[in-house]
Amino acid sequence: MLHAAKTIIAVVFLLALSVPAFANTVTTERTETTLISEVKTIQAGKKFRVALHIHLNPGWHTYWKNPGDSGVPPQFKWTLPNGFKASDIEYLAPNREQTGTLVDYAYDDDAYYLVTMTPPPILRDGMTSILALKAGWLVCKDICIPESGDFSLAFPSGAKAESGEDTPLMSKIIAKLPGKVTGSIALSVSEGQIRLDMLSDKAASAKDPVKSIVFFPENDGLIDNAAEQKLTRDPMGYTLMLKMATGVKMPDHLDGILSVFFKNGSRKDYAYHSAEAGSVAPLHGKGIPEWMDIAAAVAYALLGGLILNGMPCVFPVLSLKALAVAKKASAHPSQARKQGLAYATGVIASFLLLALALILFQKSGQVVGWGYQMQSPVFVSLLALLLFTVGLNLAGYFDLPVLLGGVGGEATRSDSAWGSFLTGILAVMVATPCTAPFMAGAIGFALTQSAAVIVAVFAALGLGLASPFLLISFYPRLIRALPKPGAWMNTFKEFLAFPMFGWTVWLLWVLAREAGGGATCVVLLGMILIAFALWLWRFKSTKLGVLALIMGAAGISSAVVVGHAPQAPMPMPDQAMAFSTTRLQSLRDQGKAVFVDATADWCLICKVNESVALSSPAVMQAFKAHQVAYLIADWTHGDSDITQYLASFGRSGVPIYVYYPPENGAPVVLPQVLTPSTVIGVLK
């Protein structure tokens, strides 16, 4: 209906252009329109600009290149001397004009439509060239009225172009034309949403001067013009989410203007022209090359993997690797290097396997992120059984040569490299509930890119995680700094059994939250069966060995049984509400302040933040004093709505904490590690 109306109005324009007017300035009850130029004399072959200036009376507006939900752009018909060429219309950035449920892209007060003229390469001095324009435009207030005019400018030619009375005004207008994008913009499309990730040269923060960013699409009918353009920020820059119009497919190109509005009332406009819209590949402006964005993501991943070594979910396992390296270092440096390489291979291979799984999930249309394995009760059960078995091994209950890189028994022999490889796999498995600093941005960026970028980022994560022990195993000076082997190593090995048992208890708690107490009891029974199987294995009897295998298989199969258990809902604090994008939008439409806590029961950092900061009396009192609605986005079982919400911030895992100030202020992303003062500070 809207497109049909626009077509009718365009026909009216064409008819109007056939009726000449006779004044260079056309004045009506609504507008005063004049054709102006940046020069009064012209030079052969030297380009110059002219502009149609429409001054609108208060309350009236006219339209941009893409008028939005109603209206039509201006129509120009030039009559030029031989050899002259006129460019397409150049547009200044428009404003959003909302009438009811319709949004138009239009100009108030003054509209300028610029055209670049190119004279022929040869002009006689003193020759006068007349440029004639028939133009039609639409002006609207309570009603819409087509207007038209006939304009002309006469230009004497000379040795050089000379300025005229309109030159100062034209200079100001030209300065307002959208500039080139100076940063990097990555575009991705998913489930009716266009996402623009703007990676800024300087880190974005809650104190920066940017108030909002608006995208004006040149593609008519592409986006839902009335829908909110959601802007979020993080240390890497900004993310803008655009809702596509119903039933519309992504075109081959996305073009438009990005307007940045500052808190001091000023704005800057940038022309954005994509090269390959509709794909998940990164699309960039003319500033930073694509490879620099990928290099930055790889560097972030490398640093995040390195920091992951110190996270509580990984450190106990890595301590075991340290024992193995220390034991080999002094007597067998070559064996230490072999263990380091095997461990690194296990880590990196596991990350690459995880990357492959993510790519396959994406190809099948599913949306997944970091730590998605922990949403599966089966995976949690298997990990709990594995760590319980590791704890038994460390405590001396049984001796398995290839387990944990060889920290006991005969594991110091040639098969320890295989054990180091398995330790690397185990380190990655227990790392999945954790997200280290820098990881979130790197993984979030990777999951919007091609398969090759995903593989590169995950390989960098693996290299970062493996690098400390890889360096220790290859540099003798670092090896000599390790403690000398001795009886203390066996004591320390037995001590490390208790962190493993503690980690197992935490996994059982996660399982209880995911699948209920009955499922947890099944896995506890499985642990008893595994312990009994290992006890039987010590008797070295064939019959008892077969029985041990049966008992062990029964213990492991308890994880499969758990997979069929019903999911248990996450309990909500008194002041909290369950998250949904509909509820969030409703609260924002009411102008309320909102705090979103994206969490999961298996996310250890989330639980620490909840205990230390979010549940503290001071923070609870601050939420109440500032009338903040507290929404919990529980990602424990996976939720497509929450996954899409995480993706809108460039994240692929939890935690993420977002504060929406009242009166629809721009969202602020908080750090991943919270303190009460951090939360209270952002509320103020």
- pLDDT number for residue 631: 92
Assigned architecture for domain 576-683? 3-Layer(aba) Sandwich (3.40)
| Upstream peptide bond of 655 is cis (omega within 30 degrees of 0) | yes
Averaged pLDDT for residues 120-124: 85
- pLDDT number for residue 118: 93
Alpha-helix runs per DSSP H in 262-332: 290-308, 315-329
Beta pairing partners, 146 = 138
Q: State the pairing for strand pair 267-273/237-243.
A: unpaired
**Dist CA 227 CA 240 (whole Å):** 12
Tell me which range, 48-62, 506-520, 556-570, 619-633, is most confidently predicted by mean pLDDT: 48-62
**How does pLDDT run across 155-170, given as a tens digit for each residue?**
998 777 788 889 999 9
For residue 339, pLDDT over 50 is answered with: yes
**How does pLDDT run across 465-508, given as a tens digit for each residue?**
888 877 877 775 665 565 565 666 667 777 777 877 887 887 88
The model scores a pTM over 0.75: no
Q: Which of 567, 621, 606, 12 is nearest to 312 (CA)?
A: 606
Which residues are CB-contacts of 262 (< 8 A; sequence separation ≥ 6)? Answer: 209, 210, 211, 268
Would you say 182 and 201 are in contact if contact means Cβ atoms under 8 Å apart? yes
Helix (H, G, I), strand (E, B) or coil at 508: helix
- pLDDT number for residue 372: 59
Pick the more confident residue, 679 or 237: 679
Has domain 2-177 been given CATH number 2.60.40.1250? yes
**Dist CA 70 CA 215 (whole Å):** 18
The rounded Cα 189 to chain-centroid distance in angstroms is 12
Would you say 423 and 469 are in contact if contact means Cβ atoms under 8 Å apart? no
Name which of 69-73, 476-480, 651-655 the model is least confident about: 476-480
Would you say 413 and 419 are in contact if contact means Cβ atoms under 8 Å apart? no
Q: Do domains 2-177 and 180-287 have the same CATH topology?
A: yes
**How does pLDDT run across 5-16, given as a tens digit for each residue?**
554 455 445 444
b or e along 533-561 (b: 16 or more beta carbons within 10 Å of the residue's beta carbon)?
Answer: bbebbeeeeeebeeebeebbeebbebbeb
Residue 162 carries which DSSP code?
B
Query: Please, what is the average pLDDT of the chain?
Result: 77
Q: How would you class 342 by CB atoms within 10 Å of its CB: exposed for 0-12, middle for 13-18, buried for 19 or more?
A: buried
For residue 365, pLDDT over 70 is answered with: no
- pLDDT number for residue 51: 96
**How does pLDDT run across 378-437, given as a tens digit for each residue?**
778 877 887 788 778 777 777 654 344 443 333 333 346 777 787 788 777 766 656 555
Pick the more confident residue, 270 or 354: 270
Q: How confident is the model at residue 597 (pLDDT cuts 50, 70, 90)?
A: very high
Q: Which tokens hold the place of 565? A: 């258990």
| φ/ψ bin of 548: left (φ > 0), alpha (ψ from -120 to 50), beta (otherwise) | alpha
Q: How confident is the model at residue 215 (pLDDT cuts 50, 70, 90)?
A: very high
For residue 86, pLDDT over 80 is answered with: yes
Q: Which tokens hold the place of 246? A: 């119903």
**Dist CA 198 CA 445 (whole Å):** 11
Q: How confident is the model at residue 289 (pLDDT cuts 50, 70, 90)?
A: very low
Q: Can you give the residue ranges of every domain in the chain?
A: 2-177, 180-287, 292-562, 576-683
Fold of 180-287: Immunoglobulin-like (2.60.40)
Would you say 563 and 597 are in contact if contact means Cβ atoms under 8 Å apart? no
- pLDDT number for residue 95: 93
Pick the more confident residue, 522 or 151: 151
Q: Which tokens hold the place of 115? A: 């055209």
Name which of 222-231, 244-253, 644-653 the model is least confident about: 644-653
Say which residue the tokens 């004279």 belong to: 119
